[in-house]
Structure 1
Amino acid sequence: MRFIVLGSGSAGNAAVVEAGGIRVLIDAGLSAKQLTDRMKASGIDPASLNAVLLTHEHGDHIRGLRVMMKNLPVPVYATPSTAMVVRGGGVDTASWKIFESGAQFSFNGLSVQSFAVPHDAVEPVGYVFRHEERAFGLLSDTGHVTKLIAERLRGVHALFVEANYDDALLEADTKRPWSTKQRISSRHGHLSNAQTAALVAELAPAGLRRVVLGHLSRDCNCPITAASAVRGALASVEIVCAEQDRTCGWWE
């Protein structure tokens, strides 16, 4: 199993997971042109994708979906409420595969477990991908780490997880009004570096070896700050940061 982050940040998010000849795109938050160009530059023919999986309906996770689906006849997997909102927004040419939050499904040996996450979206989910003896977790926009999230991610060998903001930088930020800061740091907003660090520390003893931090705020975080906060004393875990403006990976 391997994965690549095509881009991650407030301007757009997308990643590809590959195992056993199956390729799955998770979210399509970049423009269709960017998604296509970055996949091709990474050795991925968009026509080779087997499915698109959505975490939730926010624009930075579905921006390129409508245009992509005009030329890419692959199924789009989403929870019922997410699919309803995205279809209502104009993505009506896709072949939809609806699953309930918490459902498990598979693609020719690549198993996918969905799980509910707290975020200010209609029905957001995270995913755990398993193939043979390997497991990869993906936890995008999330306000706080629930017991369910920790249970679902326990045992993954690699994890993509958001580390959106540094508490001190968010508090000192002058671009965002107080109400926006409250939304970001709320229990249905985004994960801070400290929250992500606590999750990684909890998962490390169960076999976690690689963590890719994503969705870093340009103003309220930076790769050095985020990686340092999450790394802590976890010498056994590799910590790297995904970027908004270029692909990052492949990671085995």
Structure 2
Amino acid sequence: MRFIVLGSGSGGNATVVEAGGMRLLVDAGLSAKQLTDRMKASGIEPASISAVLLTHEHGDHVRGLRVLMKQLSAPIYATPSTTRLIRDGGIEAGSWKIFESGAQFHFNGLSVQSFAVPHDAVEPVGFVFRHEEKSFGLLSDTGHVTKLISERLRGVNALFVEANYDDALLEADTKRPWSTKQRISSRHGHLSNAQTAALVADLAANGLRRVVLGHLSRDCNCPVAAATAVRGSLASVEIVCAEQDRTCGWWD
């Protein structure tokens, strides 16, 4: 099993997970051109994508979907409410595979477990991918870490997780009104460095060895601050930051 982050941040998010001869694209928040260009530069032919999985309907996770699906024959997997909203927005291309939050499905030996997350979207989910003895968790936009999230991610070998903001930088930011800051830091907003650090510390005791931090705010966070906060004293866990403007990976 391996994965590559094609880009992550408020400007767009997309990740490819590969195992058992299958390639799954999780979210399509970059433009279709960026998605295809970055896939090809990483040795991925877009036509080889087996399925597209969506975490939720926000633009930075589905922006390129409409145009991209004119080029792909892969099905789109999404929860019922997410599917309805995206279709209402005019994206009808592709075949839709609708699954209930919490459902598990399989791709030629690669299993995918979905789980509910708290975010200001209609029905957002995270995923755990398993192949043979290896597992990879993907937790994107999330307001706080629930007991369910901790349980689903416990035991994963690698994790992509958002570390959206530094508390002090968000508070000091002059570009965002108070209401926006409240939304970001709410229980249905985004994870701070401190919240992500607590999750990673908990999971490190259960086999976690590699963490990729994503969805970093350009104004209210930075890679050094995020990695330092999350790393703490965890010598056994490799921690790196995904970037918005270029791919980061592959990671086995």
Q: What TM-score do you get using the length of structure 2 for normalisation?
A: 1.00
Deviation by residue 1:122-156 (Cα, 9 ceiling, x = unmatched): 00000000000000000000000000000000000
Q: Distance in 2 between matches of 1:163 and 1:20?
A: 30
- Runs of 4 or more consecutive aligned structure 1 residues displaced over 2 Å after TM superposition: none
Query: Is 1:66 matched with 2:66?
Result: yes
Residue 70 (structure 1) shift: 1.1
Aligned to 1:99: 99
1:243 alignment partner, SS class: coil
Q: Is the counterpart of residue 226 in structure 1 residue 226 in structure 2?
A: yes
Q: Distance in 2 between matches of 1:21 and 1:73?
A: 17
- Unaligned 5+ residue runs, structure 1? none
C-alpha displacement of 1:93? 1.6
For residue 144 of structure 2, what is the amino acid of its counterpart? H
Aligned partner of residue 56 in structure 2, secondary structure = coil
* Distance in 1 between residues matched to 2:106 and 2:219, nearest whole Å: 38
Find the counterpart in structure 1 of residue 23 from structure 2. Answer: 23
Q: Is 1:113 aligned to residue 113 of structure 2?
A: yes
Which amino acid counterpart does residue 160 of structure 2 have in structure 1? F
TM-score (norm 1): 1.00
2:251 aligns with: 251
Q: Is 1:213 equivalent to 2:185 in the alignment?
A: no
Question: What is the SS of the residue equivalent to 2:86?
Answer: helix
- Deviation per CA, 1:96-116: give whole Å up to 9, x if none: 000000000000000000000
Distance 1:21 1:71 in 2: 20
The whole-number CA distance in structure 2 between the counterparts of 1:223 and 1:117 is 24
Mapped partners of 1:147, 1:71: distance in 2: 39
Matches within 5 A, 1:77-156: 77-156=77-156
Tell me the equivalent position of 2:175: 175
Question: How much identity, in percent, do the aligned residues show?
Answer: 85
User: How much does 1:90 deviate?
Assistant: 1.2
d(CA) in 1 for partners of 2:88, 2:158: 34
Shift of 1:41: 0.1
User: How many residue pairs get matched?
Assistant: 252
Aligned to 2:161: 161
Partner secondary structure for residue 23 of structure 2: strand
> 1 CA distance for matches of 2:88 and 2:49?
24
Distance 1:118 1:110 in 2: 26
Unaligned runs of 5+ in 2: none
The amino acid that maps onto 2:205 is: P
Give the CA deviation at 1:94.
1.6
Task: Report the residue type matching 2:108 in the other structure.
Answer: N
* Equivalent residue letter for 1:189: G
Q: Shift of residue 73 of structure 1? A: 1.1
Aligned partner of residue 71 in structure 1, secondary structure:
coil
- Counterparts of 1:234 and 1:53 in 2: how far apart (Å)? 31
The answer on 1:2 being equivalent to 2:33 is no
Q: CA RMSD in A?
A: 0.3
1:53-108 alpha-carbon deviations (Å, 9 max, x no partner):
00000000000000011121110000000000011111112200000000000000
Secondary structure at the residue paired with 2:70?
Answer: helix
